[in-house]
Structure 1
Amino acid sequence: MRSYYINNGKENGGPFILEELKKQDLNKASLVWYQGMNEWKNAQDIEELKTFFAVVPPTIKRSIPSPEIEPIKKSTTILGLKKSHFFLTLLFLSIFAAVLVLNVIQNNKRSELDLKNKQTEFSNEKITLEQNEFNEQRIQDEIKKRIALENNNLRRRDSINSRITEIKALLIDNKNQFENTQKDFTDAEKFTFFRSENEKLEEMSLLQNDLQNIKSQISQLQNESDRLYLQLETIH
């Protein structure tokens, strides 16, 4: 029993026996080869395969005459208009309706866009107004701080100047008192009548202590005055 091989133009298939070959998708130009052939041949040139391509006439079908049906006359008008005019009018109405709907949609979109733009402008104006109010409030607060600082500095300057004036008066008094005490000390040192030596020394010791106290007070007042002048220089 022969074994057949076929080629579909890309690759070979097989082997197939004759019954299996009938099931393959063969045509007259399909290439077929079996052992003993010198070269591939078309299927229609191989004797045992010619029956694959024999033409079988179709079965004759007897037709039964159908009864004659009277043709139905089709109406050539719609709503009193010719079909061509009706469909043309319908087309124009459809176009008009589409244009109208498109205009309405565009107008709605334009209105929505205008509303969004107005809302955005309003929001921007509100933000700008709030920022301006914030800046104005900050400026007012800064002005208040400066005024309060200036008032505080003014009060400090007045207080310091007042204290300096007091210190000047005290310095004058203490210097006068120092001079008077120093004069009393000199007189006590020279005066020798109606008192003993111990009384003289005791009086001189008291006057010496007074001189030291007055001198210490003058030094303290002078130091305080110097500090106050330095504070005045730091106050703007």
Structure 2
Amino acid sequence: MKRYYYIVDEVQHGPVSFNDLKKIKIVKQTMVWYEGMSDWSSAGDLEELRDLWVSMPPPIKKDPPVYKPILNESKVSFLQDNRSKVLLGSFLGVIVLVLFFSFSDRENTLLIQETKANSEMLNEQQKLIDEQNRKIAEQERIERERLEQQQREERQKKINELQFNLVEARKEREESVRHLNDVSAFKFLRSSSERNRQINEANEKIAFLDAKISEIESELSNLGVVY
């Protein structure tokens, strides 16, 4: 069964079934798409949706029968009487009034029924829109929580990596300090220039490790870890 998506007020809705589209009563200009289409299309251009706009002929209005009395000579003489004319006029006036109010009541009834049907249709459409908005909000909440969890995991992974590098850098610095103490002593047979070179190399390595340690501690501080 095809599932349709449609756009109302620049907001995408769906998926819904064909029967749901009938209830929503979309117009021909509504943009519609379903799986398999290369792009959105107006609902009026889709052959399978044309049943939504099949026009039904209006009901036949039957005018009330008008009875034309057959007047014989005696009735003609009766109508010629002034009183008879007044009575006949009053009778016809009553008939006109009855027909007028009857027609007005029928029009009012049809208007009330149409208003009620439109109201029910709008309520159903609003329910569908509210449900769709609820689903969208739920999906956004789930995606937001997933991203927050991913960010927390990435942050903790970065902290663990920096902490490991910090421990290793401190260990290496301690070894470099011991090496500096060793090369600074006079317990090795070497020239003075060789001794100075070794001392300078040891000091340079210690300075490099101090800068590395300071950089790692700064990164940890930016992540909320204080050392």
Which category of TM-score, normalised to the shorter sequence, fits these structures? 0.5 to 0.7
Percent of pairs with identical residues: 20
What is the root-mean-square deviation in Å for CA atoms of aligned residues? 3.1
Aligned with 1:164 (options 159, 168, 171):
159
Q: Which runs of 5+ in 2 are unaligned?
A: 1-71
Asked if the contact 1:167–1:221 (Cα under 8 Å) also holds between the matched residues in 2, the reply is yes
Q: With structure 2 as the length reference, what TM-score do the two structures score? A: 0.56
Q: After the TM superposition, which residues 167-206 of structure 1 pair with which residues of structure 2 at under 5 Å, given as runs? A: 167-206=162-201
Amino acid at match of 1:177: E
Aligned residue in 2 for 1:107: 102
1:21-36 pair list within 5 angstroms: none
CA distance in 2, matches of 1:162, 1:226: 15
CA distance in 1, matches of 2:186, 2:83: 151
Write out aligned runs for 1:1-236 (5 A).
79=74, 83=78, 95=90, 97-229=92-224
* Cα distance, 1:201 vs structure 2: 1.1
**Inter-partner Cα distance in structure 2 for 1:144 and 1:191:** 73
Q: TM-score, normalised by structure 1?
A: 0.54
- Structure 1 unaligned segments of length 5 or more: list them: 1-76, 231-236
- Cα shift at 1:116: 1.4
**Number of positions where the alignment pairs a residue of Structure 1 with one of Structure 2:** 153
State the secondary structure of the residue aligned to 1:229. coil
Shift of 1:207: 1.1
Q: Distance in 2 between matches of 1:191 and 1:123?
A: 103
Whether the aligned pair in 2 keeps the contact of 1:192 and 1:200 (CA below 8 Å) is no
> What is the Cα deviation at residue 94 of structure 1?
5.7
> Is contact 1:188–1:204 with CA below 8 Å preserved after alignment?
yes
Q: Which has the larger radius of gyration?
A: 1
2:222 partner amino acid: R
Alpha-carbon distance in structure 1 between the residues aligned to 2:115 and 2:187: 106
- What secondary structure sits across from 1:218 in the alignment? helix
Q: Is the 8 A contact 2:78 2:84 kept in 1?
A: no
Partners of 1:133 and 1:96 in 2: CA distance: 56
For the residue of structure 2 that corresponds to 1:154, the secondary structure is: helix
Distance 1:214 1:129 in 2: 70
In 1, the alpha carbon distance for the partners of 2:141 and 2:167 equals 38
**Cα offset, 1:177, TM superposition:** 0.8
1:188, CA displacement in angstroms? 1.4
Other structure's SS at 2:190 match: coil
Query: Aligned partners of 2:75, 2:132: CA distance in 1, in Å?
Result: 80
